[in-house]
């Protein structure tokens, strides 16, 4: 693999703009090569010329002044090259305030605009890398200081709860290994030494603990209500359970902090390697010898000479092993440095087998229906009314999983960090191969059940056991539910429990703090209303015994059934409304009020449509049509502008965003058009399009539901792309882990 691709693959996705722009510097070197060939009257191919043509956007950024030296390189040490010889190309001179000046020693006639532009851009890239690295190191030092205080508090609480009479050397182990790094990097001098000593003394101070409060994040609806009703109460009691909860949170904070430190080390190494590669490429193509002087400056810069990150890594590992792993270094390193997830060949093999079986079963079912002319049989309507909705539940699930697998494939291809955005535990997220495996296996089970049910209905000898055949869909539902809640570590337990937790948060809204996985899942539920209605039909069909004679009239003609169906259609939108309200109360974003009104407008449209279908009438039809139009326009605008971040008139990409991941802008416009069309599909119920001449009503409803699932799958990609780009804009690449302790009055600390 070429270095450029390897360099891109090793980047932290959210930090990508902060890395050296290796690709653009390569383009500038190609321009240098073409310029030299033109000077020497050597032929230049059309392909080489086209490869170096910059875009309009890049050409604006590359306008430079050709007569100014290149300033601003960060350098901790002086780097003055006084032994200039005839082959010297650049001169790097140390300046005040840890900056340096790079002067290009060749004339414009000799070098041309291309080489001047290259060194100007190289200078800018180096300044960018140094500035970003310094800012991140400063952030980590601040975080280390906070973790030091948190760890000292945990040690003091352990002593207070477990052994109040003991205050020995263990309370100072942490300070000596961790806060010394802070003293060297941030708190240099007498002030820093005083603070470290003060932290060591605080560990054994009872007055210090009087101002500490353990932050217990509500994990149940009951605890959430208690917290809401007792905000003014100071809970300064410390129990064993509270200590364990605090230790668990602080342990997670250390793991995330260690991961950030390792990524910073990788950032420093990759950029140094990139500067080395680009300078050697420059020397090769320009026939000059400038890399030695420039790389000496890079080697002596803050990027290479800074040792704060390396020391913090060692300190964090020592503290983590000492206090969270009982001195077991192997366990500590395994926890901190988790190996990356690897793809398994058996997953691909099994997926291929199940996909092949699914296609074979589909072909078999189609042939049976065609050969035996089942579409023209007398029981066609009864089968479509009673049996088809039972099996369509699994079809909706399989289609949604296929769309999600496609989302994951393209997210990974365009380096959208979906695992970080959703907050999956490291190495537990499912890739598109695993999702395809689950979808294809469920597809095989469903199609096999359909085929067996169909054969039993056709076989004259099996008609006497029709009651048993009617139980096949129910048995399949039970099997799927048992697998979903299976407590054993099989069938991707971490992912199953993550999904169940998010579902529980949606059910208990607004008693839980709303996170992105919660409202993302709730948005998926709004596209699966027909699935929930079919589950309602399951309960009625089997609960009232209608399956014995395959008669669902009792369900369809019941007013209670219709009322419950309406409530089921409203619940997903109501959940999203409550989530928006909770986020608004938490002070996250004032626009959540407008977002909540969007879901209320959808609820109004659903209610109006339902009453129109039941009672008819021109007035109800106008009300249903108007509410549906308002909800459709409202939801479409929010999808495109807020969720996707598109329709920006003054952006660098007109009517799109400033930054795009997909290479072709036409895809965004096509996605917007498709979103609008599919949004309009559900309005067909307003205008009496309940049945098509070539489709049964149940099939038409299923088709419209599938179109909504497809629309949601498209929405998912662009929604997460926008979230990823927002994280990139803020360089937000790591989880913000809530720390377990807060301090009532900082002046006591």
For residue range 536-555, what is the model confidence (pLDDT) as tens digits? 999 999 988 888 877 777 78
Query: What's the pLDDT at 612?
Result: 86
* Same structural domain, 523 and 636: yes
Q: Give which of 523, 628, 644, 529 is closest to 580, Cα–Cα.
A: 523
Q: Given a cut of 80, is residue 687 above it in pLDDT? A: no
Q: How many residues does the chain have?
A: 749
Domain final position from 292, 317, 336: 336
Query: What's the pLDDT at 104?
Result: 60
Question: Is 742 inside any structural domain?
Answer: no
Question: Is 747 inside any structural domain?
Answer: no
* Same structural domain, 507 and 638: yes
Domain final position from 261, 293, 321: 261
* Same structural domain, 526 and 489: yes
Cα(109)–Cα(96) distance, integer angstroms: 32
Helices 559-585, 516-526: inter-axial angle, 10-degree rounding: 150
Domain final position from 279, 306, 336: 336
Question: Is 403 inside any structural domain?
Answer: yes
What is the tally of structural domains in the chain?
3
* Same structural domain, 109 and 152: no
pLDDT, tens digit (0-9, with 9 covering 90-100), for 233-261: 444 456 777 788 888 889 999 999 999 99
Q: Give helix then strand counts, H and E, for the chain.
A: 31, 5
* Same structural domain, 115 and 186: no
pLDDT band at 276 (very low <50, low <70, confident <90, very high): very high
* Same structural domain, 723 and 614: yes
Question: Is 746 inside any structural domain?
Answer: no
* Same structural domain, 250 and 172: yes
* Same structural domain, 509 and 544: yes
* Same structural domain, 307 and 410: no
Question: Is 545 inside any structural domain?
Answer: yes
- Identify the three-state secondary structure at position 669: helix
Question: Is 735 inside any structural domain?
Answer: no
Residue whose token pair is 């280390």:
144
Task: Classify strands 99-104 and 70-74 as parallel, antiparallel or unpaired.
Answer: antiparallel
Q: What is the mean pLDDT of the chain?
A: 81
Query: What's the pLDDT at 459?
Result: 59
Degrees, nearest 5: CA angle 736-409-675 = 90
* Same structural domain, 590 and 479: yes
Say if CB 3 and CB 272 are below 8 A apart. Answer: no
Query: What's the pLDDT at 700?
Result: 87
Question: Is 568 inside any structural domain?
Answer: yes
The domain of 153 spans: 141-212+237-261
* Same structural domain, 522 and 567: yes
Cα(150)–Cα(144) distance, integer angstroms: 10
Element (H, E) at 150: helix 108-162
Say if CB 104 and CB 282 are below 8 A apart. Answer: no
* Same structural domain, 448 and 473: yes
Q: Given a cut of 60, is residue 372 above it in pLDDT? A: yes
Question: Is 738 inside any structural domain?
Answer: no
Residue whose token pair is 């983590």:
320
């Amino acid at each position: 693999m070429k270095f450029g691709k390897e360099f891109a693959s090793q980047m932290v996705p959210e930090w990508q703009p902060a890395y050296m722009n290796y690709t653009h510097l390569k383009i500038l070197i190609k321009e240098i090569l073409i310029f030299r060939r033109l000077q020497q009257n050597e032929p230049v191919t059309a392909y080489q010329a086209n490869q170096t043509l910059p875009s309009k956007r890049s050409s604006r950024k590359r306008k430079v002044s050709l007569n100014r030296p290149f300033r601003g390189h960060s350098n901790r040490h002086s780097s003055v090259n006084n032994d200039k010889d005839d082959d010297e190309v650049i001169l790097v001179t140390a300046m005040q305030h840890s900056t340096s000046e790079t002067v290009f020693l060749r004339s414009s006639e000799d070098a041309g605009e291309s080489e001047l532009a290259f060194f100007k851009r190289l200078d800018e890239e180096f300044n960018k890398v140094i500035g970003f690295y310094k800012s991140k190191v400063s952030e980590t030092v601040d975080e280390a200081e906070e973790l030091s205080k948190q760890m000292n508090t945990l040690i003091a609480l352990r002593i207070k709860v477990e052994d109040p009479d003991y205050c020995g050397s263990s309370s100072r182990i942490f300070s000596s290994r961790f806060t010394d790094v802070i003293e060297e990097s941030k708190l240099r001098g007498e002030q820093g030494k005083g603070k470290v000593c003060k932290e060591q003394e605080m560990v054994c101070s009872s007055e210090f603990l009087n101002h500490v409060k353990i932050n217990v994040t509500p994990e149940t609806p009951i605890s959430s209500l208690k917290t809401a009703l007792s905000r003014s109460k100071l809970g300064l009691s410390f129990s064993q359970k509270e200590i364990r909860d605090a230790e668990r949170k602080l342990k997670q904070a250390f793991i995330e902090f260690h991961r950030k430190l390792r990524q910073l080390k990788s950032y420093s190494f990759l950029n140094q390697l990139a500067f080395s590669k680009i300078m050697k490429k420059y020397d090769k193509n320009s026939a000059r010898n400038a890399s030695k002087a420039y790389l000496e400056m890079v080697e002596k810069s803050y990027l290479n000479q800074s040792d704060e990150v390396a020391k913090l890594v060692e300190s964090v590992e020592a503290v983590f092993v000492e206090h969270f792993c009982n001195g077991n270094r192997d366990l500590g390193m395994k926890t901190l440095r988790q190996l990356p997830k690897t793809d398994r060949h058996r997953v691909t093999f099994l997926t291929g087998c199940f996909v092949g079986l699914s296609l074979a079963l589909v072909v078999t079912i189609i042939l049976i229906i065609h050969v035996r002319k089942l579409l023209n049989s007398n029981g066609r309507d009864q089968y479509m009314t009673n049996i088809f909705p039972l099996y369509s539940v699994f079809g909706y699930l399989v289609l949604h999983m296929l769309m999600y697998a496609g989302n994951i494939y393209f997210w990974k291809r365009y380096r959208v960090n979906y695992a970080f955005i959703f907050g999956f535990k490291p190495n537990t997220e499912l890739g598109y191969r695993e999702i395809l495996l689950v979808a294809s296996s469920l597809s095989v089970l469903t199609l096999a059940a359909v085929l067996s049910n169909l054969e039993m209905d056709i076989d004259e000898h099996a008609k006497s056991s029709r009651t048993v055949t009617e139980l096949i869909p129910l048995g399949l539902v039970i099997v799927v539910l048992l697998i979903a809640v299976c407590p054993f570590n099989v069938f991707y337990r971490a992912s199953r429990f993550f999904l169940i937790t998010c579902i529980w948060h949606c059910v208990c809204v607004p008693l839980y703090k709303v996170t992105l996985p919660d409202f993302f899942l709730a948005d998926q539920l709004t596209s699966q209303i027909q699935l929930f209605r079919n589950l309602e039909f399951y309960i009625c069909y089997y609960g009232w015994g209608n399956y014995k004679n395959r008669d669902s009239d009792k369900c369809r003609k019941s007013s209670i059934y219709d009322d419950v169906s309406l409530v089921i259609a409203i619940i997903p939108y109501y959940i999203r409304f409550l989530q928006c309200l909770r986020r608004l109360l938490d002070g996250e974003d004032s626009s959540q009020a407008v977002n909540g009104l969007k879901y209320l407008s959808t609820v109004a449209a659903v209610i109006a449509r339902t009453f129109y279908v039941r009672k008819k009438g021109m007035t109800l039809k106008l009300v249903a049509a108007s509410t549906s139009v308002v909800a459709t326009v409202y939801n479409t605008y929010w999808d495109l502008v807020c969720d996707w971040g598109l329709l920006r008139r003054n952006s660098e990409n007109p009517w799109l965003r400033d930054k795009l991941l997909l290479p072709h802008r036409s895809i965004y416009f096509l996605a917007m058009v498709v979103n609008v069309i599919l949004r309009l599909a559900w309005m067909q119920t307003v205008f009496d399009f309940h049945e098509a001449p070539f489709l049964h009503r149940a099939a038409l409803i299923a088709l419209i539901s599938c179109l909504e699932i497809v629309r949601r799958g498209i929405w998912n990609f662009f929604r997460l792309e926008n979230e990823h780009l927002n994280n990139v804009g803020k360089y937000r690449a790591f989880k913000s882990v809530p720390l377990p302790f807060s301090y009532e009055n900082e002046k006591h600390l």
